[in-house]
Amino acid sequence: MKLRTLPNPQSSSLTKILILRFSSFGDIIQCFSASDHLSSHFAPCEIHWAVRSDSADLVSTHSKVDRVWSLDRKRGWMGLIELGLGLSKENFTHVYDAHCNLRSHLLMGLLRVLYLGNSFSFVRRKKFRLRRWLLLKWKIRRLPWPFRGSQSFVYPLEKWGLSWKPDLHRQLNLPPISDEILKMLKAPLYQTIVMAPSAAWKMKRWPTSSWQQLVRELKTQAFIIVGGPTDNFCSEIERISPQNIVNLAGQLSWLETAALIAQSQGCMSGDTGALHLSDYLGKPTLALIGPTAFGFPSWDNTQIMEVELKCRPCT
């Protein structure tokens, strides 16, 4: 278990909150809205976050998170027990299980035992598996539509008197962009659009030919392409206008991608982590939503482009 402490000491007499959200990148970004709302509602307070070790650096960028607790999956159940032992010494007043999986259930059970009768207020974000099954299998809508991820992480907190407030300040303390990357740009970053054409599932991707046509029509626009190391199709988009496009797919960490989006002109993305990041950062964003049911952005800075499909959701 590794700990990362941010320089924001708080008095032990203040409200002390623990958020459990271990993964994944997009869900963590959307869960950041919970930190913003909790910090505003309980101010002054101290917020801790338990996350998987490969996402600890991301959570550490959040301006309202005071301490990050890292769970190393390689340690197995022993790592979870060690995490529980460490958390049990913190005397949290509020605990929010924003993950609702086997690990978070076991960790909560361990905390209740280790607290030895000391109580804390507890909220869990339910996954509504039956309602999801009805939607995915029979197209019966018993969930909010469109399902906006960032808002869905705030709604369970109504038990503590919170409600969704879209105008709360949102800030990530991101690292500077390296000179090596800046030298590769075709235009100043504030005049460059970040393009994220990939997605975890192929059915969520806008066709490569459509991205190519977009580049042809925006002849003088500078772009940066971001994506993963296996997104080889991104080079097909770059070839349409190499004088205006820098293809950095597979070359950036998520923190580097976040820093580029934060300083860019805006972002165009399918249903992927880059979309939720740009939406959260308040950047002008174009969201290309395909047959998904749960990838909708939450703020007015994002414009949604979609086609109403009868089979939806059909990913």
pLDDT higher than threshold 70 for residue 309: yes
Single pTM value for the model: 0.92
Supply the mean pLDDT for the chain.
93
Please, which pLDDT band fits residue 83 given cuts at 50, 70 and 90?
Answer: very high
Q: How many CA atoms lie within 13 A of 190 on its CB side?
A: 0
Angstrom distance (rounded) from CA 96 to CA 76: 22
**pLDDT at residue 138 in the model:** 84
pLDDT digits (tens, 9 = 90+) for 265-288: 999 999 999 999 999 999 999 999
247 Cβ contact list (under 8 Å, min separation 6): 225, 234, 235, 237, 238
pLDDT in tens, 193-239: 999 999 888 888 999 999 999 999 999 999 999 999 999 999 999 99
Who contacts 217 (Cβ-Cβ below 8 Å, separation ≥6)? none
Residue 197, pLDDT score: 97
pLDDT range class, residue 315, cuts 50, 70, 90: low
Question: Which residues, in sequence order, are CB contacts of 210 under 8 Å at separation 6+?
Answer: none
Residue by residue, what is the 3-state secondary structure of 200-217? Answer: CCHHHCCCHHHHHHHHHH
Q: Are strands 2-5 and 67-71 parallel, antiparallel or unpaired?
A: antiparallel
Of 310 and 165, the structure prediction assigns the larger pLDDT to 165
Residue 5 clears pLDDT 60, i.e. is over it: no
Which pLDDT score is estimated for 253?
96
Query: Please, is 43 exposed, middle or buried when counting C-beta atoms within 10 Å of its C-beta (0-12, 13-18, 19+)?
Result: exposed
pLDDT tens readout for residues 117-127: 678 999 999 99
Residue 6 has pLDDT above 60, yes or no: no
Please answer whether residues 181 and 260 qualify as being in contact, where contact means their C-beta atoms are separated by less than 8 angstroms.
yes
pLDDT digits (tens, 9 = 90+) for 120-152: 999 999 998 888 888 888 888 888 888 999 999
Q: Would you state the structure tokens that stand for residue 179, as one six-digit string?
A: 């000179």
Reported as a pLDDT band with limits 50, 70 and 90, residue 307 is confident
Q: Where are the alpha helices (DSSP H) in the chain?
A: 25-41, 56-60, 76-87, 102-114, 129-138, 149-152, 179-184, 208-217, 234-238, 254-263, 273-281
Q: Residue 4 pLDDT more than 50? A: no
Helix (H, G, I), strand (E, B) or coil at 21: coil
Q: List, in order of start, the domains of the chain with CATH numbers.
A: 2-160 (3.40.50.2000), 179-306 (3.40.50.2000)
- Please report, as a single letter, which amino acid is at residue 243: Q
Confidence tier at 3 by pLDDT (50, 70, 90): very low
Q: What is the rounded distance in angstroms from the CA atom of residue 268 to the CA atom of residue 223?
A: 10
Average pLDDT over residues 246-273: 97
How many whole angstroms separate alpha carbon 47 and alpha carbon 180? 35
15 with 42: CB under 8 angstroms?
Answer: yes
Alpha carbon distance 49, 137 (integer Å): 34
What contacts 161, CB < 8 A, 6 or more positions away? Answer: 41
